[in-house]
């Protein structure tokens, strides 16, 4: 069974007088634990597909089903709880809270959920990402790669089943980018998380087990990359 799938998914935007079909009738599914890259040229609809799949935006038509439940049946409050508890997000911008330390940023989603921090689990995540000695620092004292690793730890804090990553290495130099990518891969496999990663960079996409190519809002290729 797919952990998440969409059927006939379309997302339109009004651009002046014109309607832009950013996502055009896409049907696709993702299995638990798989690592899939979504690639294609700039403006092809990759980010929009990620946003609609992850319920950050509503579709114009079509359905998204998570764990057997159609997400359009959920109200906004239920969707935000689902996103907070089951989905992790990593973006090109690290979006850390500048006034909080690395550790405080990491556990923020757990705090927002009024849950108790699973210290053992968080420690494991921190060890895996190699950020033990960065926890007391404010984001401004960290490099881009370190900030992105804190952001990945934060995305993992609530033990998500899916990690959505949008150009996660886009602001990093080659070496830090490769490190962050291999860490994403590693944590995905260790925790059995589905990793759906949007990138325009073919070298990044080639690290995935499956590559979906999008052009003009449509899937033009979907292939295993083993
Ligand atoms: P990609 O991630 O592949 O670069 P996007 O999903 O960002 O592509 O954009 C796909 C298309 O939808 C583009 O033509 C873009 O201009 C348009 N688009 C995206 N977001 C919006 C928006 N909020 N309002 C209007 N048009 C948008």
Question: Which one of 15, 17, 20 would you pick to mutate in the ligand 1 pocket, going by the greatest count of ligand atoms within 8 A of its CB?
Answer: 20
Helix 144-156 × helix 119-129 angle, to 10°: 150
Which residues does the chain have with pLDDT short of 50? Answer: none
pLDDT on residue 173: 95
In order of 71, 103, 187, the CA distances from 80 in angstroms are 11, 23, 24
pLDDT of 91 reads: 97
Residue nearest to atom 26 of ligand 1 (CA): 13
Domain positions in the chain are 2-224
Pick the closest to residue 61 from 6, 4, 20, 136 (CA basis). 6
- For residue 60 the two structure tokens come to 């114009």
Ligand 1 atom with least separation from CA of 214: 3
The pLDDT score that the predictor gives to residue 142 is: 97
Domain 2-224 grouped into CATH 1.20.1250.20: no
CA atoms within 13 A on the CB side of 220: 11
Integer Cα distance of 222 and 205 in angstroms:
12
pLDDT at residue 1 in the model: 86
The pLDDT of residue 65: 97
Q: Considering only CA atoms, which residue is closest to atom 14 of ligand 1?
A: 43
> pTM to 2 decimals?
0.96
Token pair recorded at residue 133: 């000695």
Specify the 3-state DSSP secondary structure of 164: strand
Quote the pLDDT of residue 226: 75
Q: Collect all residues with Cβ–Cβ distance below 8 Å to 161 and sequence separation of at least 6.
A: 3, 32, 67, 86, 87, 193, 194
What does the alpha-carbon distance between residue 87 and residue 155 come to, in Å, rounded to a whole number? 8
């Amino acid at each position: 069974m797919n952990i998440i799938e969409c059927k006939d998914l379309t997302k339109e935007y009004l651009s002046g007088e014109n309607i832009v079909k950013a996502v055009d009738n896409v049907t696709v599914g993702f299995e638990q634990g798989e690592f899939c890259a979504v690639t294609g040229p700039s403006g092809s609809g990759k980010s929009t597909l990620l946003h609609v799949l992850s319920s950050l935006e509503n579709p114009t038509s079509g359905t998204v089903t998570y764990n057997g439940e159609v997400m359009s049946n959920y109200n906004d409050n239920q969707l935000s709880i689902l996103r907070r508890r089951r989905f992790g997000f990593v973006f090109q911008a690290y979006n850390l809270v500048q006034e909080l330390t690395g550790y405080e940023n990491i556990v923020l989603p757990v705090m927002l959920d009024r849950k108790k921090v699973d210290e053992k689990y968080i420690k494991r995540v921190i060890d895996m990402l190699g950020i033990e000695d960065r926890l007391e620092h404010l984001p401004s004292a960290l490099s881009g790669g370190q900030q992105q690793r804190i952001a990945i730890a934060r995305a993992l804090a609530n033990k998500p089943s899916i990690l959505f990553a949008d150009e996660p290495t886009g602001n990093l130099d080659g070496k830090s980018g490769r490190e962050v990518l291999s860490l994403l891969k590693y944590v995905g496999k260790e925790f059995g998380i589905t990793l759906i990663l949007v990138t325009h960079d073919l070298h990044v996409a080639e690290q995935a087990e499956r590559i979906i190519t999008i052009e003009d809002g449509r899937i033009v290729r979907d292939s295993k990359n083993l």
